[in-house]
Chain A
Amino acid sequence: GEQVEQRPPHLSVREGDSAVITCTYTDPNSYYFFWYKQEPGASLQLLMKVFSSTEINEGQGFTVLLNKKDKRLSLNLTAAHPGDSAAYFCAVSYNNNAPRFGAGTKLSVKP
């Protein structure tokens, strides 16, 4: 089945810096990709859903890049602020199966 590897497990940056989280996956048939944000003690909040046909996707304060050749998905927070401190999870969906999640990245943004 699909294997999703997420790096790094922990990331600490200064306010205003960029933060990059990367996931690699194994199944070349994967076609939906998701990024979720989870604040401490809270549920998962969908940040962005990416289709395999689009390589660059921009959200509010972040960009998601999809490299299908390398089977790599990345989340780039362009100018992080303390409110971005949370755990971030990628998820990959293939066929009709429920998405498989990466292990998560705990991001800390210091003032």
Chain B
Amino acid sequence: DPKIIQKPKYLVAVTGSEKILICEQYLGHNAMYWYRQSAKKPLEFMFSYSYQKLMDNQTASSRFQPQSSKKNHLDLQITALKPDDSATYFCASSQERLGGREDTQYFGPGTRLLVL
């Protein structure tokens, strides 16, 4: 059974629209992350959350808003979509915010977003 679920697997959107990418993890982890992968920037860190609180934000645009309704959920809302937002978005999680000897990030399968 998949331990990190990302929905949808594929997503096509029109420029200017708004979409929400879903991430749920069933590993009992307390920290969750979003990364973006595209041809221009192979793997780019976006956000990290720990116990549902934002810890690190490396995304300049406020169009990207993470939302954590439950400890094991970290969704990503993207507004005013642009073609440059086309990428694969990966959710990841770790037991605790990375710093402990045993902590490792595990990645979800990704959501491929195409903005036309």
Contact = CB atoms under 8 A, between A and B. Distances in A.
A104 B110 contact: no
Given A103-B42, A104-B42, A96 B107 contact: no
Contacts of B44: 101
A98 B45 contact: yes
Contacts of B42: 87, 89, 101, 103-104
B98 A93 contact: yes
B51 interface: no
Interface in B22-76: 33, 35, 42-45, 48, 55-56
Contacts, number: 53
Most A CB atoms within 10 A — which of B106, B107, B109? B107
B5 to A, nearest CB: 12
Contacts of A42: 109
Interface in B69-112: 90, 97-99, 101, 103-110
Contacts of A36: 107
Give the secondary structure class of B's interface.
Answer: loop
Interface string A20-55: 000000000000101010000011111001010000
**Chain A interface category by residue count:** 20 to 34
Contacts of A104: 42-43
Contact of B98 (A32, A44, A101, A103): A32
Given A32-B98, A96-B55, A101-B42, 5 more contacts: A42-B109, A44-B107, A91-B105, A99-B45, A104-B43
Interface of B: 33, 35, 42-45, 48, 55-56, 90, 97-99, 101, 103-110
29 contacts: A32-B98, A32-B103, A34-B104, A43-B107, A43-B108, A43-B109, A44-B43, A44-B90, A44-B107, A46-B105, A49-B104, A87-B42, A89-B43, A91-B105, A95-B99, A96-B55, A96-B99, A98-B56, A98-B105, A99-B45, A100-B45, A101-B35, A101-B42, A101-B43, A101-B44, A101-B45, A103-B42, A104-B42, A104-B43
